[in-house]
Amino acid sequence: MRRVTGSLLAAAAVGAALTAAITMGSAHAGARSAKADKLVVWVGWSKRELSVFKSVVSEYDAKHPEVQIKVVGSINDTKITNAIRSGNAPDVVSSFTSANVGVYCGTGAWVDLSPYLKKDHVDLSQFPKTSLYYTQYKGKRCALPLLADSYGLYYNKALFRKAGITKPPKTFTELAADAKKLTQRAKSGKLKVMGFDPFWGFYSGNFADMTNYAPLFAATYLDGKGKAILASRFAWSKLLRWQKKLIDYYGYDKVVRFQAGLGDEFSPSNAFEVGKIAMLMDGEWRVAFIAAEHPKLSYGTAPMPVDDAHPNLYGAGSVNGTIIGIPKGGKHADEAWALVKYLTTNDHALAKFSNGIRNVPSTRTSAKSPELKPDPRFQTFIRIFNNPNSATAPITAAGNANLTLVGRFTVKWQAGKVKNLHDGLKKLDRQIDAQNAQASAGGGPP
Amino acid sequence: MLLLMSPWLAGFSIFFGYPLVMTGYLSFTHYDLLSPAKWIGWANYSYLLHGDPQVWPAVVNSLEWIGIVVPLQVLFAFGVALMLARARLGLGFFRTVFYLPALAPPVAATLGFVYLLNPATGPINTVLDHLGIQGPLWFQSPGWAKPSLALLSLWGVGNTMIIFLAAILDVPRHLYESAELDGAGPLRRLRWVTLPTVSPVVLFAAVFGVIQGLQYFTQAYVAANIAAGQASQAGDTINNLGYPQDATLFYPVLLYQHGFVNFNMGYASALAMLLLAVAFAVVLVILLNSRRWVHYAGAVR
C-alpha cells in the first residue's frame, strides 16, 4: 500500500546536492555495526499502521531468541535504493511500489528467493496469481507479497438517502448520473459536495496513470510484445471521454478550487470521511481509517461500476500490494528469510496484520482464516481481489516511468489541452515505446 | 608551490574533477544505480534529443525562468537596495525586514507560499474574495504556477539585495557632487554615476542568478508536490513532478526524475552534461558581453 511519507524533504535535500550526488557511483562495503543476531526490517508503513506491523513482528521476536528485530517505518523506494547502493542495506526490505519490482529483481538488488523457496518447499500456488505477477520480473522471484490491496467504491449512505439513491451504481453511466444527483453547489456555483470526483491525480483512486480504472474497462496498456496500445484500444478513449464529460459537468476550475480546500487523503479530514465527496474509489485500507477516525460515518462498500458494454466485469477492480524481500549484501540472509517466510505465509501473522490495518490477506488459506474479524464492508475487497478480471499495472523495464508519461497525458486531457484524443493517444504510444527502448538499451535490466 | 596548493588540488579533484569525469562516463552507459554500468554509446544523447517528450517542456521552462525571472530578481534587488540606501528613518529595521526572507529555508518558504496562495483556503484568495475578486488558482494552474514561484523568489532576494546595497553605499560621494554641479538630476545621476560604479555587482548578480536559475529545483519540487497534495503517495510523488501540467517541470526536476525515481542514472548523467554545457555557454556569453558595460574602478581599458 502506498502512503504519504517524509520523502519529500529528504528528496528535496537530495535535489540540492544533485550534481554532487550524481556520480557517487561506487558502492563501498558499509560498516555494519549490528550484532550477529540483530535483524533490521524496513517498511513503508507509518503511525498507526506501523505499530500494528511492529506488534506482528514482536510475536515472532518473542518466539525466536536467536534474533532481535528492529523495525523502521516510513521507508520509500529512494531510501531503499540508496541503502543498497551504499552497502548499508537492512536485512529485510519492503516497498509499496510493486511496479519497481522489475528493477529490484532484474538488477539483483533484492536477492533471488528461489533457492530458499525450494529448500523450504514453499508452495507458490498459495499466493494469488496477480500477487505472483508483481513479485517477480521475467521469472526471477526476488519478492513475496505481504498483504495486498484492491480498489472498490465507498459510498456515503446518508448522502445517498438524501439524494434518493437506493443502491450503488453498477455501470459508468449510472455512476455519472448518481454523481450529478449527489452533487451540491452553493448559490455562487461553488461546489460544496461532489458526488464523485474523477479528476486525474486526486487521491489514490485517481492516479493519473489510470491504473485503477483499467480493469473496469478491461483496458490494457501493452500488447503481448510489449508495445503500447492506448490508441488502438477503444476502452481507453471511452474512459477518457467519460471522465472529461463529468469534469466538464462540474467545471474544471471549480473542481480544482474545490479540491484545493480538501484535507489530506491520509488524515482525518479525508474528503470522503467528512462527507464532502459522496462516492470515492479507494483501497480496502480506508475501512480501518474510517473505523479509527470517523467510526460513526454511515457508509457502504461495493465493487466499482464497470464499462456499460462489459457488465460481466462487475466485481473486478485494480489490485496491487506491498512486496517484501531481502536486499543483497545482508549478513543474516538465512535469518532474514525465516522472517520473510513467516510474515508472508503464516496464517496467524497475516490474519493478525490484516485485522490491524485491514489490508487483503495475501495467501489463499489466510484469506479464509477464522481469525479474520468479519466485516462485510471489508469482505467486498477480498472478493474484488480474488475476482479473475482484477488486474494490476504492467511491469516493464522502465518501471514507473511509463505510467508517468500516461499521467502527463491524462492531466492535459482533462484540462482540455488535447485537441484530438486519438492522435494524442497515438503520440503517447510512440513515447512509451521509445522510453521502453531507451530503458532496455544495452540490455536494460537483464 | 605544488605542495602549498595540494589541499586545494585534492579537494578540487575529489569533489569536482572526479564527479565530472564520472558523470561524463556514465552519460554513455545504461546505469540503474544497482547493477554495473553498461556502455551504450550515444544512445542516451539520442533519446535526449529525439525521444524524450519531457525534455522540450523542461528546457522551455528553464529558459523562461532565466530569461524572465532572473532579470526581474536583479532589478528587484537593485531597486530595493536603492530605496534602502536612501532611507532616512528606521534604517536598521528596513534592512533587516528586507533581508530576513533570505534566511528562510527554501522548503519552509515554499510550503508557506503554497499555503498562503491556496486557492480555496489561503488568506490571499480569502481577502480577494471579500473584495469580490475571484483569485487565481496560483500553484494549481499551469498559467499561474510559474508567476507564483517568481513571487517566492523575489521575496527571498535578500542576499543579492545586501550586496547591491553595499555597492551603492560604496559609490564615492564626490562623483555625485560633481554630477550635481554639472546639473544632472536624480535619474541621470543614477544612470551615469551609480550604474557604472555598481556594474561589477550587476554582472555578479546576473551570472549568479543564471547559474542558480539553471539549477532551480527545490522550490519547484516542493511546490508541485504540496500543491498536487492529494496524491502524495510514497511511490507516486513522481507523478506530481512538474504539477500542474508540466508548468514546474524545470530541467533539474526532470533530471531528478530520471536519475532518482526512474533508476535511469546513465540518462540523467547525459542530461547533466547538457546542463553543464548550456550553463557554461550562457555564462560565457554574459561574460563576453559584459566587457561593453562593466566598469572596473582603476582598471585600464
Q: Could you report the per-residue pLDDT of A252-296, keeping only the tens digit for each?
A: 989 988 988 888 888 888 999 999 999 999 999 899 899 989 999
Q: What is the pLDDT of residues B59-68, one digit of tens each?
A: 999 989 988 9
Strands (E), A227-374: 277-283, 299-302, 319-325
> Given an 8 Å threshold on Cβ–Cβ distance, is B53 in contact with A108?
no
Give me the percent of chain A exceeding a pLDDT of 70: 90
Say whether residue A407 is in contact with chain B using an 8 A CB cutoff. Answer: yes
The predicted structure's pLDDT at residue B233:
42
Q: What is the pLDDT of residues B134-181, one digit of tens each?
A: 888 888 888 888 899 988 988 988 889 999 998 888 888 888 888 888
Predicted structure pTM score = 0.82
Distance (Å) from the alpha carbon of B162 to chain A's nearest alpha carbon: 23
Q: Which three cell numbers stand for residue B127?
A: 481577502
Cis peptide before A168 (omega within 30 of 0): no
What's the CATH superfamily of A151-313? Periplasmic binding protein-like II (3.40.190.10)
Quick one: which of B177, B134, B235 has its CA closest to A404? B235
pLDDT average, residue stretch B17-28:
90
Q: What is the pLDDT of residues A72-112, one digit of tens each?
A: 988 888 888 888 888 888 999 999 888 788 888 888 889 99
How far is the C-alpha of B264 from the C-alpha of B255, rounded, in Å?
A: 10
CB atoms within 10 A of CB B142: 18
> Given an 8 Å threshold on Cβ–Cβ distance, is B47 in contact with A438?
yes
CB A379 within 8 A of CB A394: no
Confidence of residue A301 (pLDDT cuts 50, 70, 90): very high
Among the residue ranges A88-92, A201-205, B86-90, B203-207, the one predicted with the least confidence is: B86-90
Report yes or no on B39 lying in a domain: no
Report yes or no on B11 lying in a domain: no
Report yes or no on B146 lying in a domain: yes
Among B232, B248, B265, most A C-beta atoms within 10 A, so best to mutate, is B232
> Given an 8 Å threshold on Cβ–Cβ distance, is B232 in contact with A265?
yes
How many residues appear in chain B? 301
Report yes or no on B29 lying in a domain: no
The predicted structure's pLDDT at residue B259:
84
Report yes or no on B207 lying in a domain: yes
Q: Please give the residue that has the higher pLDDT: either B34 or A211.
A: A211
The predicted structure's pLDDT at residue A159:
94
Segments forming the whole domain that contains residue B117: 58-290
Q: What is the pLDDT of residues A28-78, one digit of tens each?
A: 333 333 444 789 999 988 888 899 999 999 999 988 888 899 999 888 888
Q: Which three cell numbers stand for residue A390?
A: 482484477
A239, with CB counted inside 10 A (0-12, 13-18, 19+), is buried
> Given an 8 Å threshold on Cβ–Cβ distance, is A18 in contact with B217?
yes
How far is the C-alpha of A250 from the C-alpha of B148, rounded, in Å?
A: 26
How far is the C-alpha of A408 from the C-alpha of A438, rounded, in Å?
A: 19
Report yes or no on B75 lying in a domain: yes
Distance (Å) from the alpha carbon of A349 to chain B's nearest alpha carbon: 25
Among B33, B263, B267, most A C-beta atoms within 10 A, so best to mutate, is B263
Asked if residue A415 has pLDDT above 80, the reply is yes
Give me the percent of chain A exceeding a pLDDT of 90: 48
Q: Which CATH architecture has domain A27-149+320-386?
A: 3-Layer(aba) Sandwich (3.40)
The predicted structure's pLDDT at residue A113:
93
Quick one: closest CA in A to B19, which residue? A23
Quick one: closest CA in B to A190, which residue? B120
Say whether residue A78 is in contact with chain B using an 8 A CB cutoff. Answer: yes
The predicted structure's pLDDT at residue A403:
84
Query: Would you give the distance in Å from CA B46 to the centre of its chain?
Result: 28
How far is the C-alpha of A86 from the C-alpha of A34, rounded, in Å?
A: 16
Q: Please give the residue that has the higher pLDDT: either B188 or A119.
A: A119
What mean pLDDT, rounded, does chain A reach? 85
- Residue B93 DSSP SS3: helix
C-alpha radius of gyration, chain B, whole number: 23
Report yes or no on B43 lying in a domain: no
Quick one: which of A440, A86, A39, A280 has its CA closest to B32? A440
HSE on the CB side for A344, CA within 13 Å? 31
Report yes or no on B24 lying in a domain: no
> Given an 8 Å threshold on Cβ–Cβ distance, is A399 in contact with B263?
yes
- Taking CB atoms and an 8 Å cutoff, what residues of chain A touch B239? 201, 207-209, 403-404, 407
CB A107 within 8 A of CB B32: yes
**Domain(s) of CATH 3.40.190.10: residues in chain A:** 27-149+320-386, 151-313
Give me the percent of chain B exceeding a pLDDT of 90: 10
The domain that holds B144 is classified in CATH as 1.10.3720.10
Number of domains in chain B: 1
